[in-house]
């Protein structure tokens, strides 16, 4: 997976801060503080990229932060670059697994490959802490 950085605008809202990505309409987040909003933006961006890939939607290249015009109707609190890993194309692999574990996965997951991919992401994130 390639690392990408998308510009995000953090704006003041009535109950905290909201975040939007000018390059990715519909990708939004929020938080009670600027810091919380910026952290939540990373989760929103990652989820948006994964869903876009799953639905076959094109993912635009990120704009340069300095090239994004200021909107006079937006009360900006900050402009930040948000990091995400851009999902690559799916590759078929063959693995060996205990049959009982595989049966347990099949009982709870509608998509075995998706379940294993999600579990791998969680495990990798836990190891990077």
Shared domain check, 58 and 2: yes
Note whether 17 and 77 are within 8 A (CB): yes
Residues 102 and 75 both lie in one domain? no
User: Domain residues for 74?
Assistant: 1-88
pLDDT digits (tens, 9 = 90+) for 64-121: 999 999 999 999 999 999 999 877 777 889 999 999 999 999 999 988 988 898 888 7
What whole-number distance in Å separates Cα of residue 82 and Cα of residue 5? 5
Q: Please, which residues bridge with residue 17 across strands?
A: 12, 31
What pTM was computed for the model? 0.70
Q: How many domains does the chain have?
A: 2
Please write the tens of the pLDDT for every residue from 100-115.
Answer: 999 999 999 988 988 8
At 39, the pLDDT band (50, 70, 90 cuts) reads very high
Q: Are 24 and 45 in contact (CB under 8 A)?
A: yes
Whole-angstrom distance, CA of residue 110 vs CA of residue 113: 9
């Amino acid at each position: 997976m390639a690392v990408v950085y998308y510009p995000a605008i953090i704006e003041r809202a009535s109950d905290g801060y909201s975040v939007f990505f000018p390059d990715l309409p519909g990708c939004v987040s929020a938080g009670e503080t600027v810091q919380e909003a910026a952290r939540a933006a990373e989760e929103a961006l990652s989820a948006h990229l994964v869903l876009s890939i799953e639905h076959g939607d094109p993912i635009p290249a990120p704009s340069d932060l300095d090239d994004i015009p200021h909107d006079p109707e937006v009360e900006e609190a900050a402009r930040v670059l948000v990091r995400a890993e851009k999902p690559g194309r799916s590759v078929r692999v063959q693995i060996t697994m205990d049959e009982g574990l595989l049966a347990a996965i099949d009982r709870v997951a509608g998509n075995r490959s998706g379940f294993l991919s999600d579990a791998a992401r969680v495990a990798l994130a836990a190891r990077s802490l």
